[in-house]
Amino acid sequence: MHKRKTEFVNALGSAQSPEELRAGGRFSLADLSLSVTEDLPSLETAWRRLENLERNSLHQGYDWCRAWFEAHGNRGIVVEGRFDGRTVMLLPLEVAVTFGTRIARPPGGRFNNLNTGLFSEDFPLPDPQALAPLTRLLKLTLASHADLLVYDNVPLEWHGTRHPLAALATAENPNRSFQLPLRASFEETIAQLNAKTRRKKFRLQSRKLGALGGFEHISPATSEEKHALLDVFFRQKGARLKAFGLPDIFRASATRDFFHRLLDAPQQGADTPLVLHAIRLSGRHEGHVAAIAGLSRKGGHMLCQFSSIDESVCPEASPGELLFWLMIEQACGEGATVFDFGLGDQVYKRSWCTEETVQHDILMPLTWKGTAAYPLAVALGRAKSVVKRSPGLYTLLQRCRAGFERLQKNP
């Protein structure tokens, strides 16, 4: 990635005195310096140290961000915060120009389910009084790179920790994410749900597929098998979305390249940017892939990135539901603590999940152009909330978008 000289800006103040913060095991924002760089490899050591902390999202992990930047060829930047000679904050961002306005966002776009940035354990947790100096500091640091900062899908609290930038939240995000806490055993986990009904359904699904010759739950190990299954997912998902008249969000070559790169990223212990699971049939439908899902893991957090089904064979067996049963059962056995179904309100997610996470967006004008674009960005966010609350309107707009994409593809 192209390297740019790092630029430094010192912090301008803090709501608490340095003595009060240090007494609480934290440092003062007055001691913080920010810099902006495009040289990701120079930050890798500090980056991997911060990404290991439970409070920081896997979507801001080094491998995730690098794969996104390399696949899209976007000008990625990273805001680095330093205190006492060490890195205590990283905000990876991609900058894109929309209607002449440079907008900085977390890399990953719509495929991000959770954005936290990366912060050290002792990073100050600003109260509203710290809003002005912290905002001023970020503006001074980013103004030469972007006009508007849009940091979306931010949980104000995650793993019991208040987000350091919570005071900057502009509005609630129209999407929520859904989670199932995992207990010490699978039996304890499904006991949170209607366990009797779920066991009965699982036995019925297994019998139906058994009558066709059986099935196996696979998770390919070799690079060739992984990439081949991912290509099957792209075809399967594309066909499924087309059947419903919806746009294929995985159609872009850069998007597909991104996920292929994630498959090649190194696994760090049990943590992995992307691993694939599938239901593959045996017998007379030998080799037919009925369901596919992509999971990421960081610590105890297991996150479903995507899923798809092919119901051309035995749709009554609900292969997607069966695959989630098997993946959750395996996750319990591997010591995961939460299975996250990600963003978006779907019936199947609510049937599995006992918790939902409200997320917020941070919109911050950085220049006069950003100030001019800010009211429109806020209005668009509110419009999305209205659409999301109306399933009929949402489906109509999605179909209109799919039709527009088809016209662009075949004018």
Strands (E), 233-300: 272-281, 289-298
Cα–Cα distance between 95 and 36 in angstroms, integer?
A: 13
Tokens representing 201 are: 């359904």
Q: What is the pLDDT of residue 126?
A: 66
Q: What is the pLDDT of residue 379?
A: 79
CB-count exposure of residue 238 (10 Å: 0-12, 13-18, 19+): middle
Cβ 351 vs Cβ 182: under 8 Å: no
pTM: 0.87
Q: Which residues neighbour 108 within 8 Å (Cβ) at sequence distance 6 or greater?
A: 59, 64, 65, 68, 115
- pLDDT tens per residue across span 313-323: 988 889 999 99
Q: What is the pLDDT of residue 13?
A: 41
For residue 277, what are the CA distances in angstroms to 129, 226, 263?
47, 10, 12
Cα–Cα distance between 68 and 115 in angstroms, integer?
A: 15
Summarize the confidence of residues 138-159 as an average pLDDT: 93
Strand-pairing partners, residue 272, are 297
Closest CA to 58 of 111, 97, 95: 111
Number of H helices, E strands in the chain: 12, 16
Closest CA to 321 of 343, 346, 358, 298: 346
CATH number, domain 7-174+359-409: 3.40.630.30
CB neighbours of residue 29 within 10 Å? 24
Summarize the confidence of residues 249-274 as an average pLDDT: 94
86 membership: H or E segment, kind and range: strand 86-98
Residue 299 has phi, psi (to 5 degrees) of 60, -130
Cα–Cα distance between 205 and 210 in angstroms, integer?
A: 8
Strand-pairing partners, residue 259, are none
Q: What is the pLDDT of residue 388?
A: 56
Following CA atoms 294, 296, 302, 307 in sequence, which dihedral angle do they give, to the nearest 10 degrees? -20
Strands (E), 259-395: 272-281, 289-298, 301-309, 338-343, 355-365
pLDDT beyond 50 at 339: yes
pLDDT beyond 50 at 298: yes
Summarize the confidence of residues 78-95 as an average pLDDT: 95
Closest CA to 74 of 48, 41, 108: 108
More confident position, 3 or 73: 73
Same fold? 7-174+359-409, 183-336? yes
* Lowest-confidence region among 15-24, 129-138, 263-272: 15-24
- pLDDT tens per residue across span 232-244: 999 999 999 998 8
Tell me the CB-side half-sphere exposure of residue 154, using CA atoms within 13 A.
26
pLDDT beyond 90 at 407: no
Cα–Cα distance between 188 and 234 in angstroms, integer?
A: 35
Q: What is the pLDDT of residue 10?
A: 52
Q: Taking the chain, what is the end-to-end CA distance rounded to the nearest angstrom?
A: 36
- Displacement of CA 171 from its chain's centroid (Å): 19
Place of tokens 């900057």: 168
Residue 371 has phi, psi (to 5 degrees) of -65, -40
The percent of residues in the chain predicted with pLDDT above 90, rounded, is: 64
Cα–Cα distance between 358 and 347 in angstroms, integer?
A: 17
The shares of helix, strand and coil residues in the chain, as percent rounded to the nearest 5, are 45, 25, 30
* Lowest-confidence region among 118-132, 313-327, 374-388: 374-388
- Taking domain 183-336, whether its CATH number is 3.40.630.30 is answered by yes
- pLDDT tens per residue across span 201-224: 999 999 999 999 999 999 999 999
Domain range list for the chain: 7-174+359-409, 183-336
* Lowest-confidence region among 75-89, 319-333, 379-393: 379-393
Q: What is the pLDDT of residue 2?
A: 42
pLDDT beyond 50 at 55: yes
Residue 202 has phi, psi (to 5 degrees) of -60, -45
- pLDDT tens per residue across span 161-210: 889 999 889 889 888 899 999 999 999 999 999 889 999 999 999 999 99
